[in-house]
Structure 1
Amino acid sequence: MTSRALILIEGHRSIGPLYVRAAQRRGLYPITMATDPTQYDYLAAEGVEAVQVDTNDLDAVKGVYSRLKLTYDIAGLTGFSGLDESVHLTVGKLCRHFGLPGPNPASIEQCHDKFVQRQLLEHAGVPIPDYRVAANAMEVESAVTEIGLPVVLKPVIGSGSSGVQMCRTVHEVAEHTRHLLGGTHMWQTSPRILVEEFAQGQYYTADMMGGRVVGIGTGDFGPPPHFVYREYSYPAPLSDDENARIADASLSCLRALGLGWGPTNVELRWTKRGPVVIEVNPRLPGTPDPELIQLAYGVNLVDEHIKLVIGEECDLRARHSRTASARFLVPDRDGMLEEIEGASRAAAIPGVAEVKMYVHPNTPIVRKGDYRDLIGHVIAASPSRDQTAVLLQQAVDLVSWTITPFRT
């Protein structure tokens, strides 16, 4: 009997294994296509079939898919991105070409470009920060003059807060512009900088599937000028009116960008104007959001996404209501990570759902001011917000590590 296969384009260190296991639970045979499969450790650990192919070469990927189709009954196709969001565009184009359920590639492409995304949101009347696009230092300086300090500078194309920085002074603007344009930052396309008003207010995130809001969470970041995640919690403590306004703004984003199919993640801040949209991501967010949503609402977003991918209907009804929170583990210095202690003791606390380290001892730590600074996380859940906060702190207090500064 021919195996039903689920094709996964590229991989992801955190949610990749979740998709592999979810596919296997549904009786599907996961196959990963990747430019370099060896960078995804879980493929070998889980015994997942991997095919090496340049995933930036659409024709090459089509050829591999056609060959696999001779051996397998292909149920569906999806994919992930690390820093390269273009994977989602490739997935959309492949689904269209082979007649599979999937996102509209045109919608993904216009969402992928942060400047185009903001133009479309603005045209639709969605509240967003004031913004300009700049290709050189002079244009950046002019944009900052028009918008006013503080501003956020970010690459027009990119993810994971890579190259994103808040600038409070003209000097900080000039310094970060030099960093972005001076050859240090790795650009996926020709350099373009989005200069954006800093939206002051609490951060919220809305996770959606197929045009429906599944959950709204809240988060905090480490100290500025960077946006390194510190803590996430679902559901966010909101009044019914606040919840409705965030949901309405998020649904307006879907209509403005044509993102009615599959997962979408909308990032917002609650400002004096109410909810202001910072970013719309046409994908499922990485760990720990899916785990937190499952703990808080009983909805497995990975399972429900796979259902859509293979042409089935998803079920997004909440099964229960709990508070789930994650604290990220972030080093306060550069150097050699010598040892990590207490993770197993923290994981043994009742109510602690997961303690996960992303790195191992004898790893050099060089902070970048983005998602790469995170070395692990702790997740806790309980029926109440206060109890979850206590559990989380107890677990975090047990985890420690030693970093020896580099010799200069």
Structure 2
Amino acid sequence: MTDNTEGVVLQLSSGFQPYREYLMRGAAARGPLWLIDDEPAGWQQPYIAGSSVVLPLEGAGLALDIDRLLAVADSIARIHGVRGVFTYDEPSVVATALVADRLKLPGLTAEGAQGCRDKARTRQALTDAGLPQPEFAVATTADEAATAAATIGYPVVVKPRGMAASIGVAVVDDASGIVEAFERADSSSRSGPAEYHGGALIEELVDGPEISVDGAVVAGEYQPFFVAHKQLGAPPYFEEIGHIVDGADPLLTDPELRKLLQSAHEAIGTPYGITHTEIRFSSKGPVVIEVNGRLGGDLIPYLGKLATGIDPGAILVDVARGNRPYLEADHRTCVGIRFCYPPEDARVVKISVPEPGAVPGLVEAHPMVAEGATVRLPPRAHIGRHAYVICTANDPATCADRLTAAAELVELKYDALNESDYSGRPW
């Protein structure tokens, strides 16, 4: 790909190729991309007009060198012209907003990006707007967590302030478990960006099924384009073990849900951008769980593309340029993913996956780790997956059955780790 007179669109971070290449391919089809990442481009080369390297700040987790990043963005704008900036990488959400602000481009405001990254700020913004969400408190110590949980009432959810993918999140049924849950959330937070280190949110446990909604905001108008129905693993953790996207999901046009999503984005401050919002349908109606300032993970946008033909990579570029994205589906079907987990903490010996068609509707099955890799389950680790399967069907129930059948054909040979935690106790 070569540059053109219309300028480039900046992309911050590219991610893991098997999970993210389809997004870069779709984005590149919309126009020239300039990648800013923490290492030189390799597999990304066919999709970019050029690239720059900005290294993370030493000792600051995943934080970029913001001053260096802004200087690089200024230089690219002078030489090539920049028409937009986007990311699908959670740790780069705030940095992307700062670049958009610096270059006077459409995007999440810095305040809105912080409101998405920092779960405590999300909660406060939604509270101030009077929107339905769990009762919550911010705790910086285990004693504060215990007091907050007693005030809210058990069971409660304990989560880090700035992590994604349900890392460090757990349900606590009574006072006997609150200290351990707080310490786990607090510890998990310290593996992320420095500004979110320490402490935890203590939240009311909301009943009901959970969905996620990928949507676009242009000039303040919110438009959903994919709805994914989550399958969660065994409590007390919130491990997401699968998702189903129905291209004809009636929730896409549900007026109550659309109004809630619009109001939530206005409250947080997101006039432009792509978001991934998590909603629970409680006995009292839909409740906002989180608003994230990027596309969904777990290949949810890929499922959406298979289910509708709508290209999420193209949407990223359209919104980055400040344009309303084209969201008309060319077909509508159900597509789901199921992640496979070992029965215990394991060292992988061999993974065998079924071929497409081995189960009706099975279109993909892939290992997620190499032979010899270690895979650990919550609470020792999160996202401890060794393979996934993707199936299609005409309806969600059939899709779910096919995913179960396909996952049962994944074979894992492993050696048990039989580890103890740092205190010498088995988890």
Give the TM-score band, short-chain normalised: 0.7 to 0.9
Decide whether aligned partners of structure 1 residues 184 and 321 sit closer, same or farther in structure 2, where only a CA change above 3 A counts: closer
Residues 333, 367 of structure 1: 8 Å contact kept: yes
- In the alignment, does 2:129 pair up with 1:134? no
Secondary structure, aligned partner of 1:373: coil
| Structure 1 letter corresponding to 2:396 | R
Over residues 328-382 of structure 1, what are the superposed CA-to-partner deviations in whole Å (9 max), with x where a residue is unaligned?
1222211211111124x14665633332332111212233446531333221123
Residues 13, 36 of structure 2: 8 Å contact kept: yes
Rounded to whole Å, the distance in 1 between the matches of 2:170 and 2:97 is 31
| Structure 1 letter corresponding to 2:65 | D
Residues 153, 204 of structure 2: 8 Å contact kept: yes
Decide whether aligned partners of structure 1 residues 364 and 73 sit closer, same or farther in structure 2, where only a CA change above 3 A counts: same
| Structure 2 letter corresponding to 1:398 | L
Rounded to whole Å, the distance in 1 between the matches of 2:315 and 2:189 is 40
Shift of 1:319: 2.6
Q: Report the counterpart of residue 353 of structure 1 in structure 2.
A: 363
Residues 325, 389 of structure 1: 8 Å contact kept: yes
Over residues 108-155 of structure 1, what are the superposed CA-to-partner deviations in whole Å (9 max), with x where a residue is unaligned?
112322112111112212111111111111111110110111111111
Rounded to whole Å, the distance in 1 between the matches of 2:24 and 2:283 is 43
Q: Report the counterpart of residue 170 of structure 1 in structure 2.
A: 175
Q: Report the counterpart of residue 208 of structure 1 in structure 2.
A: 215
The one of 324, 342, 359 equivalent to 1:331 is 342
Residues 159, 201 of structure 2: 8 Å contact kept: yes
After superposition, residues 6-405 of structure 1 pair within 5 angstroms as 6-13=9-16, 15-28=19-32, 30-35=33-38, 37=39, 42-43=43-44, 50-55=51-56, 56-69=64-77, 72-82=80-90, 84=91, 87-181=92-186, 185-186=190-191, 188-189=194-195, 190-210=197-217, 211-235=222-246, 243-343=254-354, 345-346=355-356, 351-369=361-379, 371-405=382-416
Rounded to whole Å, the distance in 2 between the matches of 1:362 and 1:383 is 38
Secondary structure, aligned partner of 1:356: strand
Secondary structure, aligned partner of 2:243: strand
Secondary structure, aligned partner of 2:383: helix
| Structure 2 letter corresponding to 1:76 | G
| Structure 2 letter corresponding to 1:59 | D
Residues 204, 236 of structure 1: 8 Å contact kept: no
Rounded to whole Å, the distance in 1 between the matches of 2:314 and 2:368 is 24
Q: Structure 1 stretch 188-197 or stretch 130-139: which is displaced more? A: 188-197
Q: How many residues get paired?
A: 401
Over residues 182-234 of structure 1, what are the superposed CA-to-partner deviations in whole Å (9 max), with x where a residue is unaligned?
69953533412110011111111222112112232211111011111122112
Over residues 87-113 of structure 1, what are the superposed CA-to-partner deviations in whole Å (9 max), with x where a residue is unaligned?
211111111211223222221112322
Residues 102, 261 of structure 1: 8 Å contact kept: yes
Secondary structure, aligned partner of 1:259: coil
Q: Structure 1 stretch 177-186 or stretch 52-61: which is displaced more? A: 177-186
Rounded to whole Å, the distance in 2 between the matches of 1:45 and 1:319 is 27
| Structure 2 letter corresponding to 1:257 | I
Shift of 1:239: 6.7
Rounded to whole Å, the distance in 1 between the matches of 2:249 and 2:188 is 43
Rounded to whole Å, the distance in 1 between the matches of 2:261 and 2:152 is 25
Residues 222, 228 of structure 1: 8 Å contact kept: yes
Shift of 1:396: 2.0
Residues 305, 312 of structure 2: 8 Å contact kept: yes
Instruction: Report the RMSD for the aligned CA atoms in angstroms.
Output: 2.9
Rounded to whole Å, the distance in 2 between the matches of 1:324 and 1:237 is 11
Q: Report the counterpart of residue 60 of structure 2 in structure 1.
A: none
Secondary structure, aligned partner of 2:374: strand
Q: Structure 1 stretch 194-203 or stretch 300-309: which is displaced more? A: 300-309
Rounded to whole Å, the distance in 1 between the matches of 2:330 and 2:252 is 23
Task: Compute the TM-score of the two structures, normalised by the length of structure 2.
Answer: 0.84
| Structure 1 letter corresponding to 2:333 | R
Secondary structure, aligned partner of 1:362: coil
Residues 152, 167 of structure 1: 8 Å contact kept: yes
Structure 1, unaligned runs of 5 or more:
none
